[in-house]
Amino acid sequence: MVTIRSIPSTPGSLTYTDLPWIINHIEDRCTLCGKCTSVCPTSAIYLGYRRQRIPQIDIYNKDRKTSYRTFAGIRQRLDVEHRCIGCGMCSMVCPNEAITPVLNSNDDRLKFHIHQGGDAWKRGGRRNSRESLLDNIIFTRISMLTDPALDAGRHEFYLNTILGRILSPEEYLKRKEKGQWIPPTREIFPFIIGSMSFGAMSPNMWLGLLQGVAYCNEVLGIPVVMATGEGGCPPWVLKSPFLKYIILQIASGYFGWDEIIRAIPDMQCDPAAIEIKYGQGAKPGDGGLLMWYKVSKLIARLRGVPQSVDLPSPPVHQTLYSIEESVMKMIQSLSMAWGFRVPVYPKISGSNSAKSVLNNLVRNPYASALLIDGVDGGTGAAYNVSMDAMGYPIASNLRECYLDLAAQGKQNEIPLFAAGGVGKNGNVTQNGMALIMLGASGVHIGKYVMQSIAGCLGSERNRCNVCNLGICPKGITSQNPKLYRRLDPDQVAQRVVDVFQAIRTEMKKIMAPLGRSQSLPIGMSDAIGINDKAAADKLKINYIC
Amino acid sequence: MCRLALKTSSTPFSPYSVLEAMEAMQEGYDGSGLGLLLRGLEFLDYNYQTKDPIFSGIAHTHEALNRLDSFMQEKGFTLKYDHEFNVDHSKVEAPDRYKYLLRIYNFPEIWKDYDKDRIEHELMMTRLELRRDGENHNGDLTLFSFWPEVVIIKEVGWPLGIGDSLGLSDNRIKARLVMAQGRQNTNWGINLYACHPFFLQGVSTMTNGENTAFIPIKEWLMGVQFPGYIGYQSDSEVFTHILHYTIKKLKLPLEVYKHIITPLKTEELLDHPQGDFLRGLRDVTRKLIIDGPNCVIGSLQDETCFMVMDHKKLRPGTVGGKEGEWAMASEMCGVDAMIPERDRSLDFQPMRENMVIISPDRKEYKIWSQFDPYPQHRVA
ipTM score of complex: 0.93
Contact B209 A525 (CB under 8 A): no
- Tell me which fold the domain B3-50+149-369 belongs to: Glutamine Phosphoribosylpyrophosphate, subunit 1, domain 1 (3.60.20)
What 3 state SS string does A201-228 have?
A: ECHHHHHHHHHHHHHHHHHHCCCCCEEC
Model pLDDT for residues A343-365, shown as the tens digit of each residue: 999 999 999 999 999 999 998 89
Q: Where are the domains of chain B?
A: 3-50+149-369
What average pLDDT does this structure show over A204-217?
97
Which member of A409, A412, A524 has the closest CB to residue B213? A524
**pLDDT surpasses 70 at A96:** yes
Residue A170: closest C-alpha in chain B: B250
First to last CA, chain B: 38
**pLDDT surpasses 70 at A317:** yes
Pairwise CA distance, residues B212 & B191, whole Å:
20
Q: Got the DSSP string for B232-261?
A: -SSTTHHHHHHHHIIIIIS---HHHHHHHH
Pairwise CA distance, residues B56 & B268, whole Å:
44
Instruction: With residue A22 as reference, give the H or E element that holds it.
Output: strand A21-25
Buried b (16+ CB within 10 A) or exposed e, A374-383: bbbbbbbbbb
Q: How far is CA A364 from the centre of its chain?
A: 29
Give A150's contacts in chain B (Cβ within 8 Å): 312
Give B214's contacts in chain A (Cβ within 8 Å): 526
| A residues 138-157 closer than 8 Å to B (CB) | 141, 143, 146-148, 150, 155
Chain A closest CA to B45's CA: distance in Å? 43
What average pLDDT does this structure show over A126-133?
94
Model pLDDT for residues A147-161, shown as the tens digit of each residue: 777 888 888 999 999
Radius of gyration of chain B from its Cα atoms, rounded to whole angstroms: 20
Give B245's contacts in chain A (Cβ within 8 Å): 169
A4 confidence band (pLDDT: 50, 70, 90): low
Helices (H), A288-380: 297-303, 323-326, 332-337, 354-362
Q: Is the peptide bond before B197 cis (omega within 30 degrees of 0)?
A: yes
Determine the residue among B291, B308, B378 to mutate to test chain A binding: the one whose Cβ has the most chain A Cβ atoms within 10 Å. Answer: B291
Q: Which of A102-111, A160-169, A216-225 has the lowest mean pLDDT?
A: A102-111
Chain B closest CA to A205's CA: distance in Å? 32
Contact A273, A442 (CB under 8 A): no
A312 confidence band (pLDDT: 50, 70, 90): confident
Helices (H), chain B: 15-24, 62-75, 116-136, 159-165, 214-223, 237-244, 254-261, 266-270, 275-284, 332-338
Model pLDDT for residues B124-177, shown as the tens digit of each residue: 999 999 999 999 999 999 999 999 999 999 998 888 889 999 999 999 999 999
**pLDDT surpasses 60 at A426:** yes
What average pLDDT does this structure show over B226-255?
95
B380 confidence band (pLDDT: 50, 70, 90): very low
Q: How far is CA A379 from the centre of its chain?
A: 6
Model pLDDT for residues B297-350, shown as the tens digit of each residue: 999 999 999 999 998 887 889 999 999 999 999 989 999 999 999 999 999 999
Pairwise CA distance, residues A22 & B265, whole Å:
57
Size of interface A-B (CB pairs under 8 A): 104
Which member of A409, A411, A519 has the closest CB to residue B225? A409
Please report the pLDDT score of residue B361 as a whole number: 96
Domains of chain A plus CATH, in order, are 4-119 (3.30.70), 134-543 (3.20.20.70)
Strand duo A246-250 + A191-193: pairing: unpaired
Give CA separation, B47 vs B44, B80, B104, in Å: 8, 10, 11
Contact A411 B289 (CB under 8 A): no
Chain B closest CA to A393's CA: distance in Å? 23
Residues of chain B contacting A, Cβ within 8 Å: 187, 209-210, 212-216, 219-220, 222-225, 245, 249-250, 252, 262, 265-266, 277, 280-281, 283-287, 289-293, 310-312, 314, 378-380
Give B243's contacts in chain A (Cβ within 8 Å): none
B3 confidence band (pLDDT: 50, 70, 90): confident
What are the residues whose beta carbons fall under 8 Å from the beta carbon of A75, sequence distance 6 or more?
A23, A25, A45, A46, A47, A48
Q: Got the DSSP string for A49-98?
A: EEEEEEEEEETTTTEEEEEEEEEEEEEE--SSTT------HHHHH-TTS-
Pairwise CA distance, residues B221 & B215, whole Å:
10
Instruction: Count Cβ atoms within 10 A of the Cβ of residue B357 and give its class: 0-12 exposed, 13-18 middle, 19 or more buried.
Output: buried
Chain B closest CA to A176's CA: distance in Å? 6
What are the residues whose beta carbons fall under 8 Å from the beta carbon of A388, sequence distance 6 or more?
A127, A128, A129
**Interface contact A411, partner B, CB < 8 A:** yes
Please report the pLDDT score of residue B360 as a whole number: 96
B247 confidence band (pLDDT: 50, 70, 90): very high
Determine the residue among B247, B256, B283 to mutate to test chain A binding: the one whose Cβ has the most chain A Cβ atoms within 10 Å. Answer: B283
Pairwise CA distance, residues A539 & A301, whole Å:
46
What average pLDDT does this structure show over B275-292?
94
Which one is predicted more confidently, B32 or A486? A486
Which one is predicted more confidently, A136 or A9? A136
B376 confidence band (pLDDT: 50, 70, 90): low
Contact B290 A518 (CB under 8 A): yes
Residue B266: closest C-alpha in chain A: A187
What are the residues whose beta carbons fall under 8 Å from the beta carbon of A37, sequence distance 6 or more?
A43, A45, A46, A47, A74, A90
**Interface contact A412, partner B, CB < 8 A:** yes
Model pLDDT for residues A215-228, shown as the tens digit of each residue: 999 999 999 999 99
Contact A147, A517 (CB under 8 A): no
Chain B closest CA to A17's CA: distance in Å? 54
Residue B187: closest C-alpha in chain A: A146
**pLDDT surpasses 80 at B22:** yes
Identity (one letter) of the amino acid at A134? L
Model pLDDT for residues A238-291, shown as the tens digit of each residue: 999 999 999 999 988 888 999 999 999 999 999 999 999 999 999 998 888 888
**pLDDT surpasses 90 at A397:** yes
What average pLDDT does this structure show over B235-263?
96
Identity (one letter) of the amino acid at A514? L
**pLDDT surpasses 70 at A2:** no
**pLDDT surpasses 90 at B47:** yes
Pairwise CA distance, residues A467 & A481, whole Å:
15
Give B285's contacts in chain A (Cβ within 8 Å): 169
Which member of A173, A409, A525 has the closest CB to residue B224? A409
**pLDDT surpasses 70 at A373:** yes
**pLDDT surpasses 90 at A61:** no
Q: How far is CA B287 from the centre of its chain?
A: 22
**How much is the mean pLDDT over chain A?**
93
**pLDDT surpasses 80 at B375:** no
Give A407's contacts in chain B (Cβ within 8 Å): 223
What average pLDDT does this structure show over A164-176?
97
Pairwise CA distance, residues B237 & B232, whole Å:
6
Contact B215 A523 (CB under 8 A): yes
Please report the pLDDT score of residue B320 as a whole number: 96
Please report the pLDDT score of residue A11 as a whole number: 86
Contact A167 B284 (CB under 8 A): yes
Q: Which of A25-29, A327-331, B7-11, B222-226 has the lowest mean pLDDT?
A: A327-331
What average pLDDT does this structure show over B176-195?
76
Give B289's contacts in chain A (Cβ within 8 Å): 518-519
What are the residues whose beta carbons fall under 8 Å from the beta carbon of B200, sequence distance 6 or more?
B124, B228, B240, B241, B244
Give B265's contacts in chain A (Cβ within 8 Å): 158
